[in-house]
Amino acid sequence: MIAAFEGWNDAAEAATGAVDHLIDEWDAELVTAIDPEDYYDFQVNRPQVGLDDDGGRQLSWPTTRVYLARPADTGRDVLLIRGIEPNMRWRAFSKELLELVDDSNAQVVVVLGALLADAPHTRPIPVSATSSDEELTASWSLEPSTYEGPTGITGVFADLCTTLGVPSVSIWSAIPHYIAGTPCPKASLALLGKVEELLDLAIPEGELPELARAWQRGADELSEEDPEVAEYVHSLEEQRDTADLPEATGEAIAAEFERYLKRRNKNHPSD
């Protein structure tokens, strides 16, 4: 099972963008959706009205959907969870997802997330994979989860997996905070690269590399047009290059997360 949720856990739509890519590239089939009535505040996540293929009015409710993918030449099935962080009853919501794990006999749960960080857009997107499962940590050479602080539905779901003995891994990407207003396909690509590495599962890239390059060009133009941004990016580059790390450690990701929370609370004191 590979899961991602819109909202607090999904900076620049990197995590849900990765799952959307898998749904498209693997031609995944929608198999079920969670009843949203018990989990969503419809004044926060409003239903959408649109037109169907025949021009009729159609109401679409915010929910979490489950897709089944059968990647070619792998002999493996993958459940893809593409949802929205619920507004209430998180434990019951997570238990519904765990029932899907039991019913499908899924062997491992992969939860994707993305956070804002002091990372330069000119360098590889930092990605961290952690797990609280000792066997998984050892066999996949993962980092133990050491983060302490507020969490989202990804953390609650992963914690329930641990409690019930379901092997799970959390994969997070760090998004440059100064350019987080648009989707970041470069981060989605980085997340999928880590999924591919851990699961030993070939993932077709499709148009994602070109979208990542377009994002890179846009970020370059932004920094070139604003001297203050350019200077800031240069300082981040020096910090990154001095550290000489191709990827951030789990502790570094946690530290970035804490900085993100402080920045978020400063900008949104009423949240």
Interatomic CA distance for residues 140 and 176, integer angstroms:
27
Residue 152 scores a pLDDT above 50: yes
Under the banding of pLDDT at 50, 70 and 90, the label for residue 264 is low
Interatomic CA distance for residues 198 and 17, integer angstroms:
19
Interatomic CA distance for residues 151 and 49, integer angstroms:
32
Mean pLDDT of 161-165: 89
pLDDT digits (tens, 9 = 90+) for 74-115: 889 999 999 999 999 999 999 999 999 989 989 999 999 999
In the chain, the DSSP E strands lie at: 2-6, 29-33, 48-51, 57-60, 65-69, 78-84, 109-117, 127-131, 143-144, 168-176
pLDDT digits (tens, 9 = 90+) for 14-68: 999 999 999 999 999 999 999 999 999 999 999 999 988 888 888 999 999 999 9
Under the banding of pLDDT at 50, 70 and 90, the label for residue 168 is very high
Q: What is the pTM of this model?
A: 0.85
* pLDDT for 100: 92
What percentage of the chain carries pLDDT values higher than 70?
A: 89
pLDDT digits (tens, 9 = 90+) for 230-261: 888 888 888 887 775 545 455 556 655 665 56
* pLDDT for 77: 94
87 touches 9 (CB < 8 A): no
Mean pLDDT of 212-230: 90
Per mean pLDDT, which range of 152-166, 188-202, 212-226, 231-245 is the poorest?
231-245
* pLDDT for 246: 46
